[in-house]
Every structure is written in structure tokens, then in C-alpha cells.
Structure 1
């Protein structure tokens, strides 16, 4: 199914039921008094994350959601029934924004996580609440409150550990095929990837991570050129970026741009879209080594590293033949395990300091 990662919907909570004006009228009870009951509360609207969903496509067809209204109060001090809440399921990783205020209301990142997006109206009060020593027969009740109504923007940000980025035809789709069971479209022309693809890389039992392939970026992507910019949000949750670069000389580089300039161009686009993306750990994966002799490929790697002044990890691979791809996957897994171990040690140390402070 094609990924749909943006949608707008209107949610309306239920109105509260009206309070009732009623009086007790029974035989042999001439002074029964007021007994109008309260109205029921209106139903609220909730969003709930569901790990079984991976797209917002359902909201292309249904955009209006309304919770149930509360019932009116009745005589004999009978309360109206409250309206049922409405729960809307969305994919894990959905960010919810109020369209009118541009305020981010919530971010659903875990399965089953719920978010209240429109609160139901309160039920009105019946006239039994208004009796007093000077007003023994009140004909006063309050109407139910209106439920909240909001226009919401839903934005899906995929929850992946690794994000692949690079120019069109750099070999991202081929790479994700090589290291996972994902099967994105692969062809010998640019922009074969039209929407993000996810793959699970299983290094060995109980050691795996999720990798995301997004459409290729080109110069001017931050201004809307090409396809990749609209999907850059999916890289914001990743822990590591793999920057794929085509180093083959067959066609003079991708779109006539040298490998070093490819890297610099994408760095500029990342910085313009979100400077935090540039701060993420990023490794160079130099692809299509199969199109060159080994010594030529190594010389091209050294040339590129020198031009960029690159000091981070770099790998020479042939994604189509899978040569060199598995060491990348194993190093990525080890990198995440080190991160998790360091985070656990830091948390334990912080907890120890807190306990010492409390004890002191």
C-alpha cells in the first residue's frame, strides 16, 4: 500500500444533554417539589496509536469525526445517559497539530498511547439543583455545554533507527534490499522511490534494527525541488544516518555532480530543513564499487574523504552484489548497543546521585 503521511481531519466532541425542569407529581404528595435530572456529558474524541497501521490513507476518504451527544435529563431525578467517546486509531509515530493555532497537541510514539483531542460538553443541570427556601418551585435548568471542535493535521513520522539519504539513483533501495527483507522498487532511472520504505535488519536472533529508505534529494530540495524534501521528516526520529554516494565514473556522477558535491549539496539541504539532522551521527557508504577496479575504487574513496575532510566512519560497498553491506549492518548494530549501554549506565549513575542527595 502506498504510504500517505499527511492528512487533515475535523473532530467534534458531543454536546452535553440539557438539564430537565420537572416536578414530582404523585397521588397524596401535594408538595412533591422539583425533581428534574441533569443531562449527560457529551462524548470526547481520542486518538490512539496502533502498531498495525502504517499509513494515514484512511483519512483521505473520511475527514469528519463526531462523538455522541449526551442525552437530556428527565423527571424523577433521572440523569441523561452520557455520550460514548469516539476513538480514532492512527499509526504509531503520528504527530497531531492544531491547524488553527499551529500548536503541536501530541506525538503518539508507542502502541496503545492515547491522546484527548476534543473534550465533550458537560451536561446541563436540572431544576432540582436550584431549589431553596425562597424558591421552592424553580423553573430553571441549564443547557448542556458544547463539545470542542478542532481541525487537526496528522503527520506521520516513521519510527526507524537508521535513515538512508542520498541523491537519486545512489542505490538506497538496492542497499535496503541487500540488508533486509524489504523489496522497494529498483530501476535504472532517477526517482524510482516515490515514498518511504521500511525494512528490518536482523543481524542475528534478538539483534535487529529498522532502516528507512526515503526518496532521493537534489539541490533545492528544501525549496520543494524533487520528491525527497517532503519526506525528510521521517529522518528526524532516526538515531543514525547512512549517506549513500555513487562513486562510479560511468556517467560522470549522479546528474553530472561529483561525489563530493553530492555530499555537500545534501548537507546544505539537511541544514535548511532541520539543523538537528546535521547533528545526528552520519556515516558515508560509498556505493557501486562493482563498476570500478578495486584500486580505482579505493583511490576514489581516499580522494572523496580528502576533499570533504571526512573523519567519520566510511564504507565501500556494492549494494547490488551485497559486497560490503553486511559489515555495515553489523557495525550499525554494535553502534546502537553501545549507545543503549552508555544510556543505561548514565541513567544508573544519575539515579545513584539522586539517592545520595536524598540520603544526605
Structure 2
């Protein structure tokens, strides 16, 4: 009687294999994920001559170097070039379509992509037209990915710039398009001097319409930003939120002590949209090794893995996961937990979230775990 072969072991946790794992992404900026070659081509077509390089490789290197200055303000300056080439229907649709293609090729099965419509009006488009053409691009990209054998769902978040005064208008825009692909609202931009409470009327409009929103908070600015986002504004999620560790102390014996705000964030299961590579680039944390992702994960905060800006950080979801796994000795079960965290926190209906978790995420990771 022959002996049955031993069960296969876990797949190697390396970049090619992680690319095959189903992933969910909650925090990715459309204008931070362009292909360098696309930036060059769109700049040529629209007559933009302000790029710092004229070939794709050099341009990609410039974005990564400029974004890695350790300053959030300098990091944000790189977007002037990508936004400049996203001012036409063709440019918006192409960038959105290619975004979906790149994420699908990286094994992402669900993604929420955010952008600020108010930054794309320089050539005469209206806010509604900007959103319309971007959603068309997402639809085209989703259909093309499906034809290529990649099933991916995209939700769009409309972002208002926190230093401007159009947040209520953008919130109304998000509600107006929420049955056509927009799943939520966000505010972004430099935190210092621009507290989220300045935009209370926008958040009140979202709540009045039973609509979802996240807030960039706790990245460059500390606990006051997080407290306002939650206590005054009622955020469903925290964009980054990495500075919640300012309210956590760790004793010499490894025991963690949580302050009232940290306890509240954990108790309420408020998702943290952590972006490891970006957090290092902007100076929110000193290095990946000292990133509090692992501390927060061990303390059972609802941590999620995100890219933030794939062009500026020269990264992908798979690369972020591999970096975390290598740094903190994570296995497939850990990556599965982070992915399920993201799907639980997505701004789509509960049955849709559950379907992705049960039919895509769990079977996918079970296969990889062996």
C-alpha cells in the first residue's frame, strides 16, 4: 500500500508569490500612481513643459528622490507635475484606466482610489465632468482587467483639500455620484494649521446623507489631529493615523500602556490606513524597522496595508507586504488578517465585503499557506 504524499507546505513569501495573493487597498491617490511614461506622454500632448526630466527612468528616480526628503510639504510638491497632466477628459480617463490595470496585475481585488476633483479644473472642466471622466476610466480599466482574467472592484473617494474652502462642495459631489462609483469622501493636504474641524459642514453633510468618509489625520501632525477627526468630525477611518502611538507607551518589559484616545480608537475598531513606505518618506516615522505597524498589529488595532502614492514611493501593494513580512517576520496568516481588516473597513455594502472575504481572500490565502 503506497504512502500518500505529504501535504504541500506554504508557498514562499516572496515578491512573485505575494503578487498572486488577493489584496485589498484602501488608501491610494490617483495622482500619486501614474506611470512615468504616461506622465511624459500626457505632458507632451497637453503642452506642459515643467517636468524635471525627459525620459521615464530619470523621471521615476526624480519623483522617488524628491518624495523622500523627510518632509510632508516637500512630498506634496511632487504632485504639481502629475496633476498638471490630468486636466483633460483623455488624461483623466487614461490615468484611471491604467491605475486599475496596474493594481489588477499586482493581485489587488478591491481598491478605493482617491483624488481631489478641485485640482483638475485648469482647462475648463467642471467638477462633475472631472468625476464623470475619471469614473469612465475606472470602468474601462475594470472591464479590461476582467477580460485579462483579473477580477477587481474599484471604489472612488473624492478628496477635498484641507487648505482650501471647497470641502462642502466636494462632499455634495460625493453624495451626488455615490450610486455611480463614488463610495466616500476624504480631506487631505498639509495637516499643520489646517485642522479637520474647519470642514465640519462637509462631514455633517456626509453624515446627514448616511455616507462614508475618511480623514487624513495623525501623519505629520499628532494626537490633536486624530482627536478632532474622531471626536468632532466622526471619521469612519483614519488616513494614516500612525501618530496614535503618541498615546501609547511601552515599558521595559514590553507591556504597552494605552491612553484614552488610543484605547478609544482600538475599542471602536477605527481602521488605520497605514502606508509604511510613505510614512518613512514623509518623516512620520524614522525607518521601516521603527515603524509602529507591528506594535499596532500586536495590540490588535485594525491595521491595514496601503500604498499611498505608488509613483512617489516606487512601490506596490505586493512590495509593501513583502517589506512588512521581511521586517517583522510575518507569515501568510498575518497578511491574510491585514487584508481581511481592509475588506471589513471598505466603504461598500456588508454583503459585498463578506463575499470578497469568503470567496476570494480566504481561499486565496489558504492555497498559499499550504
Shorter chain as denominator, the TM-score bin is 0.3 to 0.5
**Greater relative contact order (CA < 8 Å, ≥ 6 in sequence):** 2
TM-score (norm 2): 0.32
Q: Which has the higher strand share?
A: 1
Q: Highest Rg: 1 or 2?
A: 1
Which is helix-richer, 1 or 2? Answer: 2
